[in-house]
Structure 1
Amino acid sequence: MPAVELDAPEDAPLLAERGRPDEPPPTRPRTKARPWQAQAPGTIVSLVATMMFCVTSSGMLMLIPFYRLVEDALCHAFYDDDSPGIIDEMLCKGDEVQSRLAYLLGWFGLSSSIMTLLVAFPYGLLADRIGRKPTAVLAYGSTAVSFAFAPFMFGNMQAQVRSNPHLLMTGSLFLLFGGGVPVLLATLYAMAADVSAEKEKAASFLYLTFGATAGGLAGPLLAGVLMAKYGPWIPVFVVLAMEPFMLSLFFFIPETLVVEPKSHPKQDQPFLVGLKQHMRNGLQDLVRSVHMIRNVNIPLVLITFLFQSARFTAYTSTLAQYISKHFGWRLAETSLLLSPLGVLNLAVLVALPAVSRILMSPRFRFTTFGKDLFLTRVSTLLVILGALIQGFSHNVVLFLVGLFVGTLGAAESPLARATVSHYVDAEYTSRLYALIGMAEVLGSFIGGPALAWFFDQGLRRKGIWTGLPWFYIALLCGIALVALLFVKPPMKSLDDEAVRHEGDGVNGSAPESHLRSC
């Protein structure tokens, strides 16, 4: 589930009692923190990174157990079994149960994406108006309630869920009251940006990325161990027990948004009037961001983000269900598989800076843009090759080889983001990210439901057709790769083009002779 990052103010504040001697005080506004709250920027970033770890690990810890409980509900309905216990998992691998499970998971993901589309932007504006911390607490509250909703339904409305499991989709309505995980993660990134100087932001975001990645490693591993030994309910209870601890972390984090009185003289205006004006300005920025597609290179790169939802669904719910159904693995075992993939993903991200230095060395002479575009193309190609191997594989060993190859291209999304950012000026990056977020959410309509249909068709047709979900992913990434082949580097001189684009910050494209750098 992809989230839109919130950008920090141009001069990001540092929360500390004293400013640094090498930076002018006016560029580093201070905020007051309670005695028990973190004072130093590094401490605040560490707390935010810890929150990222907790959010990611609890989400991944809940993922596979939730799939197992849904599968069990469908299995009870299929066998017309009214017993309160859980049916042996291997009895639930029939085509009819798995087909219904695929469609349900696909629609669950789509409903959550629609709720995210409705609330992510308003709550992002709210974070800029009333502060990061209240928005983050609201977002976490909706996340905690949504996490608790499904277990409540399974425990107290068992018969109703078994007869109509679509009732579980109503849990996505809680996203309307805080935004859920996407808004929470975006606000946490904004907190880190608020307390970091411009030159420190990259390091701060790296800490948050490591926190999220570590959570992505720990969550599936713990879920697999607990499920294998105790069943799906224990991981759920662990997630619910983590919620008070996660909420207590906000107690030690001060408000990080600092507004300079001189730049905002109307601070005494009514809250609703100010919020209305803020939303109007934000909507205008959102509309202006659409103007960026006039530079044909931007929509060509955005095609990659249009297919991100499908890739995420394929390598979470579809991956677990596919391996469990076609290779006879239990869902707990597929959860254990996700942790090594996370390690490989982290290794790819760690290796990227070294690869970038090699490409930009005198031997290869890539420009910064040329390097980013080249790596995006290579990553996309690796995803295609991995998906094709997975689609054609008839044994789990060959399937895992394809999974390994595809994971080598896991950096496709951040590389594409770096590539497309070359086409806009720095002050318009937030508009570009809004456009990327729109593309990712729109892509959810061709993600979960489409993959569920292809999975169902594979169950019906058998043979080589069982790999249809992975052929679909290969097709989508193939389209993205073809689009990337037509991307041209931005012009070095932006003055004339900026005037033609009415100040939207969109840079032009170089002529064909400049393509050599790619």
Structure 2
Amino acid sequence: MAIASPQPEPPSETTSLLAEHDEHPVQRKSATRRAHRVLLSACLIAVTLDFGNYLSVAPQLQAFESIICQRLHPELFANIPGGGLPLVASPSCKSADVQGDLALLKGWMNTFDQLPGIILALPYGLMADRIGRKPVLAMSLLGIIMEEIAIRFISIWFTPLFQIIGGGSQITNSVAWTIIADVFPVEKRAWIMSSSIWIPWMLGLVCEIVGALIVLLLPETKPKSAGNPGGEVESEIANRPEGSPAFTWSSIVRFARSQITELKDFVCEYPSSLVVSLAFFMSSYGIVAVSFMLQYVSRRFSWSLAEASLLIAVKGVLNCLALVLILPMVSKLLGRYFAPVKRDHRITLGSACILVSGFGFMSLASHPALFVVGVALVALGWGYYAALRSVSSALVGQSHIGLLNTTMALAQSVGLMVSGPLLAGLFRAGLAWDGIWMGLPWMFGVTLYVAAGLAVYCLHIPS
């Protein structure tokens, strides 16, 4: 359902004869400025967070690889003073035992990283609809920053606990997309969005902190007419006797029950949300697989992690090309023949086909050039996620967009949680079988993207 533009009210006896012509253009101009401010802030947050994240990927992976290698092959580190980590990993660290343990570590880290978001997705989603998007976004960014700091200085296994503050990256994505949907009509949503290893790793953290601070520039976008889920619980708390505790077990249980009822009513009213959630669940494997790309290339083609990290730049450049140039052109071309929702639906299907092709090339690549072709195709099809969110946002009422994005974030979190250990197991099996089977993680990705594309194809798009 598209966001309607402000329409003039029918004239009556109290209608001003002069104000009608001056008021609406001013309102539209103010709304446009506000939308552009939201978009600029969202882009700055996304760019700085992504820059910090990708800047940290290679050094973090090398640190983990060296630690595992040092544990399994201590003789390789005998000549390093102080027992520190080497700047360049030994070729022996590319052995199957080290890489298998590294894949398993990354897989389970990813699984534990998703648990807080899965448990807290619905409460934070309803909170975003009730108290506003900005506070929830700020909380989730704070939790992410605290987790990143803890990974570098404390431990990697307990750091997901920091995501209790805000729910983690999936809540961040969910709220960010809700903010975009609040201020932009459906026809514009699909293309708007997408010397020591410690030095770049710490620079990545600095960039993420800067990105989190930009949230202060965001205005609140929650519609004033949005529903107030959980109102009964709020009323109970407001009317409680003075001196009694703010929350009791019974009120917490009632609040949880109201959340489940809200979600059930939402799914019954919009069954297409289940199909979209299923598509996000299956395609979430691709997100984990792409983040695993550096380790795979380093092992498959005997590249250093520094060399393999150049693929991140290739994917980033082509992502920008797709989102800034190709996707808007395709969107404009299809817009001549289809309504906005049907246009975005076809863009989603086309992007899914490109992702299938990209993963197919990556699974069969026996030479780096062929693998780079696959990476390029994946980058060009990465608009799939943005287009699918745009389609799904147009299929529900405006007041339910926050809950829809939370439902999709929940499905994606479950998919990411399952995908980590699954991908690690497939990679270890590929290492054992060797040959073409080393591409087993990408082969499985082809299957899942085909299934996700079929789910999107089955979506009922209103005429």
Q: TM-score range by the shorter chain?
A: 0.7 to 0.9
CA distance in structure 2 between the aligned counterparts of 1:484 and 1:284, rounded to whole angstroms: 26
Aligned to 1:313: 288
Residue identity opposite 2:308 in structure 1: T
CA distance in structure 1 between the aligned counterparts of 2:149 and 2:157, rounded to whole angstroms: 13
Whether the aligned pair in 2 keeps the contact of 1:288 and 1:431 (CA below 8 Å) is: no
Residue identity opposite 1:84 in structure 2: G
Deviation of 1:441 (Å): 2.1
1:295-315 Cα offsets, whole Å, 9 max, x none, are 5x6655544212222100111
Q: Report matched runs for 1:322-361 at 5 Å.
A: 322-350=296-324, 351-361=326-336
CA distance in structure 2 between the aligned counterparts of 1:454 and 1:282, rounded to whole angstroms: 37
Aligned to 1:146: 147
Tell me the secondary structure at the aligned position of residue 24 of structure 2: coil
Out of 11, 21, 24, the residue aligned to residue 22 of structure 1 is 24
1:69-111 Cα offsets, whole Å, 9 max, x none, are 1111101101135753213314311110000001111111111
Aligned residues: 426
Residue identity opposite 2:333 in structure 1: I
Residue identity opposite 2:238 in structure 1: Q
Aligned to 2:10: none
TM-score (norm 1): 0.70
Whether the aligned pair in 2 keeps the contact of 1:75 and 1:97 (CA below 8 Å) is: yes
The structure whose RCO (Cα within 8 Å, separation 6+) is larger is 2
Across the aligned residues of Structure 1 and Structure 2, the Cα RMSD in angstroms comes to: 4.1
Out of 75, 85, 92, the residue aligned to residue 69 of structure 2 is 75
CA distance in structure 1 between the aligned counterparts of 2:238 and 2:30, rounded to whole angstroms: 22
CA distance in structure 2 between the aligned counterparts of 1:417 and 1:252, rounded to whole angstroms: 24
CA distance in structure 2 between the aligned counterparts of 1:346 and 1:433, rounded to whole angstroms: 24
Whether the aligned pair in 1 keeps the contact of 2:116 and 2:164 (CA below 8 Å) is: yes
CA distance in structure 2 between the aligned counterparts of 1:278 and 1:300, rounded to whole angstroms: 27
Aligned to 1:171: 159
CA distance in structure 1 between the aligned counterparts of 2:221 and 2:343, rounded to whole angstroms: 35
Out of 396, 414, 435, the residue aligned to residue 463 of structure 1 is 435
Tell me the secondary structure at the aligned position of residue 381 of structure 2: coil
Matching of residue 89 in structure 1 with residue 89 in structure 2: yes
Q: Report matched runs for 1:419-438 at 5 Å.
A: 419-421=391-393, 423-438=395-410
Out of 199, 206, 209, the residue aligned to residue 234 of structure 1 is 199
Residue identity opposite 1:324 in structure 2: S
1:128-168 Cα offsets, whole Å, 9 max, x none, are 44444443333232222111112113xxxxxxxxxxxxx52
CA distance in structure 2 between the aligned counterparts of 1:480 and 1:333, rounded to whole angstroms: 32
Deviation of 1:61 (Å): 2.0
Matching of residue 101 in structure 1 with residue 102 in structure 2: yes
- Which residues of structure 2 form unaligned runs of 5+? 7-21, 241-245
- Which residues of structure 1 form unaligned runs of 5+? 1-8, 13-19, 31-38, 154-166, 214-229, 493-518
Residue identity opposite 1:378 in structure 2: G
Matching of residue 289 in structure 1 with residue 266 in structure 2: yes
CA distance in structure 2 between the aligned counterparts of 1:191 and 1:407, rounded to whole angstroms: 25
Whether the aligned pair in 1 keeps the contact of 2:72 and 2:98 (CA below 8 Å) is: yes
> Do the aligned partners of residues 405 and 242 (structure 1) sit closer, same or farther apart at CA in structure 2, a change above 3 Å counting?
closer
Tell me the secondary structure at the aligned position of residue 238 of structure 2: coil
Deviation of 1:372 (Å): 3.6
Whether the aligned pair in 1 keeps the contact of 2:427 and 2:440 (CA below 8 Å) is: yes
Deviation of 1:409 (Å): 2.1
Deviation of 1:48 (Å): 4.2
Q: Which deviates the most, 332-341 or 179-188?
A: 179-188
> Do the aligned partners of residues 251 and 372 (structure 1) sit closer, same or farther apart at CA in structure 2, a change above 3 Å counting?
closer
Whether the aligned pair in 2 keeps the contact of 1:11 and 1:28 (CA below 8 Å) is: no
Aligned to 1:451: 423
Whether the aligned pair in 1 keeps the contact of 2:125 and 2:402 (CA below 8 Å) is: no
CA distance in structure 1 between the aligned counterparts of 2:216 and 2:349, rounded to whole angstroms: 44
Out of 359, 371, 385, the residue aligned to residue 399 of structure 1 is 371
Whether the aligned pair in 1 keeps the contact of 2:129 and 2:403 (CA below 8 Å) is: no
Out of 384, 387, 412, the residue aligned to residue 359 of structure 2 is 387
CA distance in structure 1 between the aligned counterparts of 2:449 and 2:355, rounded to whole angstroms: 7
Aligned to 2:452: 480
TM-score (norm 2): 0.77
Tell me the secondary structure at the aligned position of residue 442 of structure 1: helix
